Structure 1
Amino acid sequence: MSDETEQTVFPYSQLVMGSLARGAEDEALAAQDEADREWLNTGEQMIQGEQSELDRAVADGKTYAQFRSAVVHTLNCSIVRERFDRMSAWRALLERFGAGEYNATIRPGPTLYHRHELEALPRTRRRCEKCAPDIENWTKPSPSHPGTVITKEIKSVSLAAHHAGRTLILADGSEAGEIEAVHITVTTTGGTYKIGRDASVTLRHVVSK
């Protein structure tokens, strides 16, 4: 094949391959655009859902706000007011991403409560020093704190000697008194025996063929 023929064929094949590559690239970009549109649509619905939930809580008269910490705020607290606008919170996150802060995270919205709902929660709460909501500070008692009542449901097979002194509450809710000792009952061909849960016994059997 002459040099002239080679120069004629090569640019043509390169043109075809380039066209195919551009076509594939255009398809990939179109698919990405569609995925982005779907993501934005889903994201917008999610944000609107967050905002609607907050708006319903405010309309219901809930005036105490608590985030992931124990601090309680009023709805007008200047420290957290911007976080009530969920669209603005998400826009701020996207702006930080655009600025190269790829480790940025969304600042979550609050959970709103009526006063009686907040006071019924078994977790520590502290009044915000800035907005000073009309509610008392409360610290959840430690399990080891004297006077703390702990109720725990366990399987009966787990009962053991160390449970002595604890009140036994039956399945129907009735109290059977304080546990004095825990035994297991074993029925054999020789009779029925009551054995302490922590006692040691020896078993013997014949291996069958």
Structure 2
Amino acid sequence: MSEAAGEIREREQAAVRALNEQEDYVRRMGHLSDEELTRQLVATLRQEKTRLDRWIDSGECFILSSAGKIHLPQCPSMRQFMDRDAAWKPYLDDLDRVRDWHGSDNAPDMPTLLTRAEVEGLKAYKTCSVCAPTLDHTDKRPGLRGWTVLKCGSLKTKHFGKYFSFVAGEEMGVLTRISTVETIGGLEFRAEFDGLDDPVTDPSVEVMYPTPRPSTWPPLDERN
């Protein structure tokens, strides 16, 4: 298990422990009146909002959905997790839903927040096509036919000299230049390849390059 994956695993376990502690805490509040319970839940809501705000303010972060997709915090599909007021409203409106600890929907789920390094440390992920986070891959899968897939907008200087193809298979050649050019319509992204007559100007276009396999030494045919 990689260091990043280990950290994510620890965070998930910590989240489970926190949820269990929260459930135990609310169970102990069974004797409270509706008004007292509401105050306690509102306090929990505020704590969650503070945690999310601190996380977002700390720098670049992403959300890992239960389906394994990576989203930006502002993605419309993640509003149900990020907007804690909206997430808690059904529970505050129906306290019996909170008190029923034999059910499976006793509290709104918190989003799984990851840093860029943690996302790239995952063995596999797929980015949301709506919010389109800029990561090294759009569909990272172990052994994806020996290719690394990414968006042109994610190309960096470390990719210079690599031989690229469109995901459909058409060869593009070696990446030679990445630039942003000012035009009448505004700034235009450009990625130039020596096998194409024209640069790629759409940063959302997916391209791929061969992923080198680890070498072995000595060669298999020279081993005893």
**TM-score category by the smaller chain?**
0.3 to 0.5
Relative contact order: is structure 1 or structure 2 higher (C-alpha 8 Å, sep ≥ 6)? 2
* TM-score, structure 2 as length reference: 0.40
Larger radius of gyration: 1
* TM-score, structure 1 as length reference: 0.42
In proportion to residue count, which structure has more strand? 2
